[in-house]
Amino acid sequence: MQDDEAIARALSGDLGAYEVLVARYSAVAHRTAHLLGAGHETEDVVQEAFVKAYRHLSGFRRDSAFKPWLLRIVANETHNLTRSRGRRAELAVRLGQEPEGLSAEGDPEEVVVAADRSSRLLAAVRGLPDREREAVVCRYFLQLSEAETAEVLGCPVGSVKSRTFRGLRRLREEVGRELL
């Protein structure tokens, strides 16, 4: 079932059709909330986002893509959560990928160097100003297009470009060109 059909059926009261959307976008919603700083409250943020999305489904512009619309709700919920905590959001990323060229039996020194690089990069990303961090996370960790990132963050594409540029420039200064 395509998103358009699932949305139309959900608007007609078919909860099963909305469950299709939840199943389809649950993983990316969790990843988004976690990357944007929800931490151990990721599940709560995602559940609240899906509830809000369902409540406001009638206001969804049918000529738009559902995924960026949903991720904007997730981003807003995460922002509300981190703001209510009264401290900067923690960004914890688990890179489910092995560093390029390394295997489980790789040279221990290479494994340690790769882990150190990942750790330095993630610490630098956590240290970015919120707007730049959000743009970098959406573009490079979630692999969203500039247009999708703009929709998720609720800003113009030009702002996404400049925030991403500034964020990458800060990261280069912080961790050096060898990591980027």
pLDDT digits (tens, 9 = 90+) for 122-180: 778 888 888 998 898 888 888 888 998 998 888 999 999 999 999 989 888 877 655 55
Which of 93, 166, 156, 155 is CA-nearest to residue 132? 166
The runs of H, that is alpha helices, within 56-138 are 66-85, 108-126, 130-136
Q: Do the Cβ atoms of 47 and 97 come closer than 8 Å? A: no
**Residue range 3-85, CATH number:** 1.10.1740.10
Fold designation for 108-179: Arc Repressor Mutant, subunit A (1.10.10)
pLDDT one-digit tens code per residue, 58-108: 998 888 889 999 999 998 898 888 766 554 333 333 333 433 444 445 556
Residue 5 to residue 99: CA distance in whole angstroms:
40
pTM over 0.75: no
pLDDT number for residue 162? 95
- Intervals of CATH 1.10.1740.10 along the chain: 3-85
Tell me: pLDDT of 116 over 90.
no
- Intervals of CATH 1.10.10.10 along the chain: 108-179
Residue 52 to residue 45: CA distance in whole angstroms:
10
